Amino acid sequence: MNRSNDVQLITYVDRLGGGDIKALNALFSNQLKGVFGGVHLLPFFYPIDGEDAGFDPIDHTEVDSRLGSWQDVGELGENMDIMADMIVNHMSAQSPQFLDVLANGQSSPFWPLFLTRDKVFAADEHQDIAKIYRPRPTPCFTDITLQNGQTVPFWTTFTSNQIDIDVASEAGQAYLERILTAFERNNVDLIRLDAAGYAIKKPGTNCFMLEETFDFIEDLSQQAHSRNMKCLVEIHSYYKTQIEIAKRCDMVYDFAMPPLVLHSLFSGDPSALANWLQISPRNCVTVLDTHDGIGIVDVGPEGDKPGLLNAAQIDSLVEQIHVNSNGQSREATGAAASNLDLYQVNCTYYNALGANDQAYLIARAVQIFSPGIPQVYYAGLFAAENDMALLAKTNVGRDINRPYLDEQAVSESLEKPVVKALIALIRLRNSLAALAGEFSVTQQQNILRLNWQAEQSAAQLTVDFASLVASVTYNEEGLERHVDVSVDGLAQSAAA
C-alpha cells in the first residue's frame, strides 16, 4: 500500500518517548501503529544540543550517537517515509572545517567553504549591505579573530555559531553532495531544505530568494531526484512568492494556513482561508505547528502589496493568541525570551486556541482535508500545553513548544479524549480514497466546505465557524457515512 499521501509526524527524536531512534520505531510499531505514513525527523546530526537544537551541525553526515546510528534511521525508513533536514545555509562554528579556518586562515583548504562579507561586498558597499533582508534583529556578519590575529567578518545569517556556507564554491558543492550521499544510503525519501532562501548572496540585492536562489534549489532538487529523493523548500515569505516558488520545486510548506485557520476560528469568518485555498499550491506540506513559532509574515503584506490578512486582522490575531494562552505566548515571543525571529508567535497551537478541544479538532480537520501532505508536530499530536518550566530554564522562546515527552507522558497523553479523537480523525483521513482526487472549496458566510471527488468516491468536510460545528461526509464504494468532528463523534467513528 502506497502511503506517501498519508499524514506524517514531525518530531525531535530526543524529546519524544524513549528518546532514541529505536524507541521511536517501537512507538510507531505499537501505540501509533498505522497512524502515520511518514516522519520528519528534526535534526538528528551531531550534536543535537548545540546553540540551535540541532540546526547548527558540527557534522551533518553523522548521527548523534545518543540517538542511535544511520542503521537505525534506515530501519525506521523500511516501513515509512523519512524526511530529514538538509541545512544548506550554514554549519557550526565548532565544526572541524571552521576550526581549521580559525587555525590556518586563508591557507586552510576549507577557507573557500565559508562565506565572508568581503567575498560578496567591497568594504565600502554600505548601501548594498543595508538592503539585506534580515529575519532577525542580530547583525548578518560576525567579526571573528583568527589565530594569526586577523579579524574577519564572517556571514552569520542566524546566530554567531552558525557560519554561512559558500554554496557556489567547489568546497560548498562537495559538502552538500556528501550530505546527499549519506541520505541516499540510509532510506531518506524527502529532504527539507532548511533556510534555502538565504543561501545565495549577491551585491545590490536583498540576498533572499533571488533568481539565482531558484536556480540553486532547482539544481539541488535535480541531484536529489537522481538519488530517488524529493525536496521540500522551507521559506517564510509573502504568499505570492510562495506560489512562484512552488512552480519551481517539488514541494513547499503552506505556512499561510496556521494563521488563517486561527483567524477563521477567532473571527467566525473563513473567507480569507477560503480565498487562499482556491489559489494555494497543491504540491505543499500543510502544518499548523512546527518546531518554530506560529508564522505571521506569510499572511501579511509586502510593501504596498496587500496580504491575505490586513494589519488590523493580524494585530487582532496575535493579541487573541496572547489572551487565549493567558499571556504565556507574550512571555515567549520577541525580546521577552531572547526570541530571534521577528515574524513568529511562540505558543503551542492547542494553547493558541485556549485549549479548546472542539476548536482544536476543527483546526486539524481543516489542515488534513486541505490539499497537500499533512504533517502534525509531536506536541500538537499529544495536545501539549505551553511548557513554561522549560521556557524558564532555557529562556529560549521556542522551547515553550518543544517539550520533552517521556514514555509516561506519551502513555498519559494517549488517554486524553482530544488525542484519541485526533488520532481517529487522522486514521479516517488516511483511509479515504477520495483525497487522491480533485479538490474544491466553497464558502457561504461562516460555513466552509472542503470537497474531494474521485471516480468512485467523494468526501466533504463542512465547518460552521460561527457555531464550531463540523462534520465529514464521505461516499466510498457506494456507502455514504457521516462523522461529527468532535470528541464524541470521532470516538464513535473509531469504535465502529
pLDDT tens profile 37-68? 999 999 999 999 988 889 999 999 999 999 99
pLDDT tens profile 193-211? 998 999 999 999 999 989 9
302 classed as catalytic: no
Catalytic one of 81, 164, 194, 387: 194
Q: What is the pLDDT of residue 252?
A: 96
pLDDT tens profile 70-126? 999 999 999 999 999 999 999 999 999 999 999 999 999 999 999 999 999 976 677
251: nearest Cα among 372, 107, 134, 120: 372
81 classed as catalytic: no
Q: Which three cell numbers stand for residue 257?
A: 494556513
Cα(162)–Cα(114) distance, rounded to whole angstroms?
Answer: 11
For residue 26, what are the CA distances in angstroms to 19, 32, 123, 148?
Answer: 11, 9, 55, 51
Catalytic one of 6, 234, 250, 357: 234
Instruction: Say if CB 355 and CB 385 are below 8 A apart.
Output: yes
Q: What is the pLDDT of residue 36?
A: 98
Cα(465)–Cα(154) distance, rounded to whole angstroms?
Answer: 50
Sign of the CA dihedral with 334 first, then 340, 342, and 345 last:
negative
Instruction: Say if CB 55 and CB 87 are below 8 A apart.
Output: yes
Kindly report which listed range (34-48, 277-291, 324-338) carries the lowest average pLDDT score: 324-338
Q: What is the pLDDT of residue 341?
A: 47
Say how many Å lie between the first and final Cα of the chain, rounded.
23
Average pLDDT on 182-193 reads 96
pLDDT at 340 over 50: no
Q: Which amino acid is at 50?
A: G
Task: Characterize 158-194 residue by residue with b for buried, 16 or more Cβ atoms within 10 angstroms of its Cβ, and e for exposed.
Answer: bbebbbbbbbbbebbbebbeebbebbbebbbbbbbbb
Tally the residues of the chain: 496
Q: What is the pLDDT of residue 68?
A: 98
For residue 301, what are the CA distances in angstroms to 62, 225, 240, 304, 310?
Answer: 41, 34, 10, 7, 7
Cα(152)–Cα(198) distance, rounded to whole angstroms?
Answer: 20
Q: Is the peptide bond before 47 cis (omega within 30 degrees of 0)?
A: yes
Q: Which three cell numbers stand for residue 87?
A: 541545512
Place of cell 544548506: 88
For residue 338, what are the CA distances in angstroms to 54, 155, 240, 305?
Answer: 18, 21, 30, 31
For residue 361, what are the CA distances in angstroms to 173, 194, 454, 462?
Answer: 44, 29, 25, 13
> Which distant-in-sequence residues (6+ apart) come within 8 Å of 177 by Cβ?
223
pLDDT at 192 over 90: yes
The model's pTM is 0.95
CA 490 to chain centre: 27
For residue 396, what are the CA distances in angstroms to 42, 343, 387?
Answer: 18, 16, 11
Instruction: Region of 204 please: left (phi>0), alpha (psi -120 to 50) or beta.
Output: left
Question: Domains, the chain, ranges and CATH?
Answer: 8-87+169-433 (3.20.20.80), 96-164 (3.90.400.10), 435-495 (2.20.220)
Average pLDDT on 438-459 reads 97
